[in-house]
Amino acid sequence: MNVRVRFAPSPTGFLHIGGLRTALYNYLFARHHGGTFVLRIEDTDQSRYVEGAEQDIIDSLEWTGMEIDEGPGKGGDFGPYRQSERKATYHEYAKQLVDQGQAYYAFDTVEEINEMRERLKKSGNPSPKYDSITRQSMKNSLTLSQDEVEKRMANGDEYVVRLKVPRKETVRFEDEIRGTVSFDTSGLDDQVLLKSDGMPTYHLANVVDDHTMKISHVIRGEEWLSSTPKHILLYKAFGWEPPVMAHLPLIMSPSGGKLSKRKAESEGIPVNTKDYIAGNYEPDALVNFLAYLGWSPGDDSEIHDMEELCELFTLDRVSKGGAVFNHKKLMWYNENYIRDHTVEELEPRVKELLDAEGYEIPSEEYLSKVIELLHERVSKIDEFASMGDFFFATPESYNEKALKKWKTNSAELVQAYKEKISELSGEEFEAAMLKDQLKEVIDAYDVGFGKLMMPLRIAVSGQGFGPDLFPAMELIGKEEVIGRLNTALEKLG
Ligand code: GLU
């Protein structure tokens, strides 16, 4: 089978993290089978169109390393890939269904439809539908004469095209993830296929495009599962073979329930892909994390880059149940990928972050030493700039929590240490020697290591935690370190 899958977002806002996972599963599936990954923009709902959303989708896919094979701006044999540019195709297919007697034109106004619903409600029908029964008493091409229909159309009267949904039929389909799914058509309205503004509905456009673009597998979020019976009915009406269906599990919030935008925000989880880009997350970590959000290779391995994921990914290992978004786990992945990158790989990115903060970098060698010192400690790349700020600027203030460790005898100890290291020559001012000097002071005063170490760290870095202090002091240099100790002694006494 020639595998062709599509990611079909609507450009109604920034690409949500759930949408990115859907894209990823499609991409991994396509690559696993040597197939084609199509990007299709479903922009038929003009009222929800958001300027810039399409570009955001494309940028997000590029940032994570998913290459689009066919799509807007990329081209391909089945374009155009924006639904707003395919209107004529939808009209053609809607007309085909009307001509075949599977669909009809309906001229009813909103008021007339409401009236019908009210009337039926009063007579004891709790959920009235525009369906196989009621359509017979409404204004449509099934009840009006052909003359009347033609006259109304020529007149420019508004109309929609509706699908004749069969009465009381059970629609069944096989879902690759969920198994057999069945739905009863008695709960369905006669679906609108073409709206009065001439635009297709999601259902018509989706089915026509999946068929004409030769999509072999539809892999999408569970929220679309309830639309699938309508799609199956449409495939049947056209006499087309539906693609294989696979509905992905919901992404859940750690506190339970679907991870909605609001929930994510209240739980400190970035919700849009662009927030991860702006937040300096590692794209390969996010990819790895998202791949495991509803899928696993079936062993206890956890770290796989995109190439390996493409090799490992299969639909039969996607879970049915909701997948909980664990932000701590994502940070764990992020940390892992940072450790995995060499100092040389990190250097240009760290430099960019430091430049943005306005820090001056003494030399390339200096920068790579800073990266080495912090490499094992940061979990996000911007921490090289935040945790490492004191390598590039004298601390202007001291962390309040850390200051609690500045005790009454701290000044005396720091003063003694300062006097000792002032006597060192430039060459002697190196990590091992600096540590020896500290030992001498604490021995002389008969205090524990932390009693001097903590105040020293505060004075040099402004913080209560950070990288190994002695190599850091060596790097910062004698003059600057002594200056900082003097400042702390003055300020903190
Ligand atoms: N346009 C729909 C969306 O925004 C596509 C759903 C589907 O994949 O069929 O997700």
pLDDT tens track for 140-181:
999 999 999 999 999 999 999 999 999 989 999 999 999 999
Per-residue pLDDT, averaged over 289-304, amounts to 96
What dotted CATH number matches 400-492?
Answer: 1.10.10.350
pLDDT in tens, 379-431: 999 999 999 999 999 999 999 999 999 999 999 999 999 999 999 998 999 99
Residues 189/183, Cβ–Cβ less than 8 Å? no
Known catalytic membership, residue 261? yes
CA of 190 to the centre of ligand 1 (A): 21
Q: Which fold has domain 87-194?
A: Glutamyl-tRNA Synthetase; domain 3 (3.90.800)
CA of 92 to the centre of ligand 1 (A): 22
Closest Cα to residue 315, out of 239, 211, 243?
Answer: 243
Reported as half-sphere exposure (CB side, CA atoms, 13 A), residue 162 has a value of 24
Per-residue pLDDT, averaged over 297-324, amounts to 96
From the number of C-beta atoms within 10 Å of its C-beta (0-12, 13-18, 19+), residue 422 rates as exposed
Residues 6 or more apart whose CB falls under 8 angstroms from that of 289 comprise 329, 330, 333
Q: What pLDDT, on the 0 to 100 scale, is given for residue 413? A: 97
CB atoms within 10 A of CB 372: 14
Question: Pocket of ligand 1, candidates 224, 225, 248: which has the most ligand atoms within 8 Å of its Cβ, to mutate?
Answer: 224
Q: What pLDDT, on the 0 to 100 scale, is given for residue 124? A: 93
Q: What pLDDT, on the 0 to 100 scale, is given for residue 179? A: 96
342-391: CATH class: mainly alpha
User: What tokens appear for 314 in the block?
Assistant: 């299969």
> E strand or H helix at 413, and its extent?
helix 410-422
Q: Which of 214, 261, 401, 439 is catalytic?
A: 261
From the number of C-beta atoms within 10 Å of its C-beta (0-12, 13-18, 19+), residue 107 rates as buried
pLDDT bin (cut points 50, 70, 90) of residue 26 is: very high
CA of 220 to the centre of ligand 1 (A): 7
220 lines ligand 1 (CB under 6 A): yes
Q: What pLDDT, on the 0 to 100 scale, is given for residue 172? A: 95
Residue 47, pLDDT above cutoff 90: no
User: Which atom of ligand 1 is nearest to 220's Cα?
Assistant: 8
4-70+208-251: CATH class: alpha beta
Q: Which fold has domain 261-338?
A: Glutamyl-tRNA Synthetase; domain 2 (1.10.1160)
Select the more confidently predicted residue: 49 or 250.
250
Which DSSP string corresponds to 228-297? HHHHHHHHHHHT-PPPEEEEEPPEE-TTSSB--HHHHHHTT---BHHHHHHTT--HHHHHHHHHTSSB--
- Nearest-angstrom CA–CA distance, 70 and 80: 10
Residue 361, pLDDT above cutoff 80: yes
The fraction of the chain above a pLDDT of 90, given in percent, is 94
CB atoms within 10 A of CB 432: 11
Residue 1, pLDDT above cutoff 80: no
Residue 485, pLDDT above cutoff 90: yes
Residue 46, pLDDT above cutoff 90: no
CA of 203 to the centre of ligand 1 (A): 10
Residues 6 or more apart whose CB falls under 8 angstroms from that of 341 comprise none
Report the relative pairing of strands 251-252 and 323-324 from DSSP bridges. parallel
Q: What pLDDT, on the 0 to 100 scale, is given for residue 152? A: 97
Residue located nearest, by CA, to atom 5 of ligand 1: 8
Question: Pocket of ligand 1, candidates 206, 244, 248: which has the most ligand atoms within 8 Å of its Cβ, to mutate?
Answer: 206
Question: Pocket of ligand 1, candidates 20, 37, 220: which has the most ligand atoms within 8 Å of its Cβ, to mutate?
Answer: 220
Residue 187, pLDDT above cutoff 90: no
Mean pLDDT for the chain? 96
Instruction: Decide: helix, strand or coil at residue 14.
Output: coil
8 lines ligand 1 (CB under 6 A): yes
- Nearest-angstrom CA–CA distance, 433 and 416: 15
Q: Which pTM value belongs to this model?
A: 0.92
Residue 65, pLDDT above cutoff 90: yes
For the chain, the domains span 4-70+208-251, 87-194, 261-338, 342-391, 400-492
